[in-house]
Amino acid sequence: MNVDMHLPWTLKYKPKTLAEVVGNKKAKDTLLEWIKSWEKGIPAKRAAFLYGPPGVGKTAAVEALAHDLNMELVEMNASDYRTEEAVKRVAGLASQYGTLFGRRRIILMDELDGLTGREDRGGLGALIKVIRKARCPIVLIATNAYDPRFITLRNLCLLIPFKRVRKTEVVKHLERICRMEGIEAEPEALKFIAERSGGDVRSAVNDLQALAQGRRRLTYEDVAWLSARDRKESIFNVLALIFHAQRCLDAKRAVDMADVDPDMLFEWVYENAPRFLTDPHDLADAMDALSMADVFRGRVRRTQSWGLLSYFLDLMTAGVAMSRDRTKPKWTKSEFPKRIQMMSRTKEVRGILASIGMQIRRKCHISAKRAASEVIPYLRVIFENNPEMAAGLAQWLELDEKMVTYLAGSERNAKEIIAHLKS
The top-scoring range by mean pLDDT among 74-78, 125-129, 355-359, 374-378 is: 355-359
| Contact indicator for 318, 242 with CB cutoff of 8 Å | no
How big is the CA angle at 290 (ends 286 and 295), to the nearest 5 degrees? 150
Task: Count other C-beta atoms under 10 Å from residue 369's C-beta.
Answer: 12
| Contact indicator for 49, 58 with CB cutoff of 8 Å | no
DSSP 1-58: --GGGGS-HHHHT--SSGGGS-S-HHHHHHHHHHHHHGGGS--S--EEEEE-STTSSH
pLDDT at residue number 133: 84
Strand order in the sheet with 72-77: 72-77, 105-110, 138-142, 47-51, 157-161
Residue 150 has pLDDT above 70, yes or no: yes
Average pLDDT for residues 370-388, to the nearest whole number? 78
Residue 24 has pLDDT above 60, yes or no: yes
CA Rg, the chain, in Å? 26
pLDDT at residue number 384: 80
| Alpha helix positions (H), 122-186 | 123-133, 151-156, 167-181
Express each pLDDT in 223-234 by its tens digit: 876 654 444 335
| Contact indicator for 300, 312 with CB cutoff of 8 Å | yes
| Contact indicator for 71, 18 with CB cutoff of 8 Å | no
Express each pLDDT in 58-69 by its tens digit: 999 999 999 999
pLDDT at residue number 90: 55
Q: Mean pLDDT check: name the lowest of 33-42, 65-74, 337-346.
A: 337-346
Pairwise CA distance, residues 113 & 129, whole Å: 18
Residue 398 has pLDDT above 60, yes or no: yes
Average pLDDT for residues 233-238, to the nearest whole number? 67
What is the residue-averaged pLDDT of the chain? 81
3-state SS string over 250-318?
Answer: HHHCHHHHCCCCHHHHHHHHHHHHHHHCCCHHHHHHHHHHHHHHHHHHHHHHHHCCHHHHHHHHHHHHH
Confidence of residue 286 (pLDDT cuts 50, 70, 90): very high
* b (16+ CB within 10 A) / e for 168-200: ebbbebbeebbeebebebeeebbbbbbebbebb
Q: Mean pLDDT check: name the lowest of 30-39, 76-85, 182-191, 237-246.
A: 76-85
Average pLDDT for residues 322-350, to the nearest whole number? 71
With 0.75 as the threshold, say if the pTM is over it: no
Express each pLDDT in 160-172 by its tens digit: 999 999 999 999 9
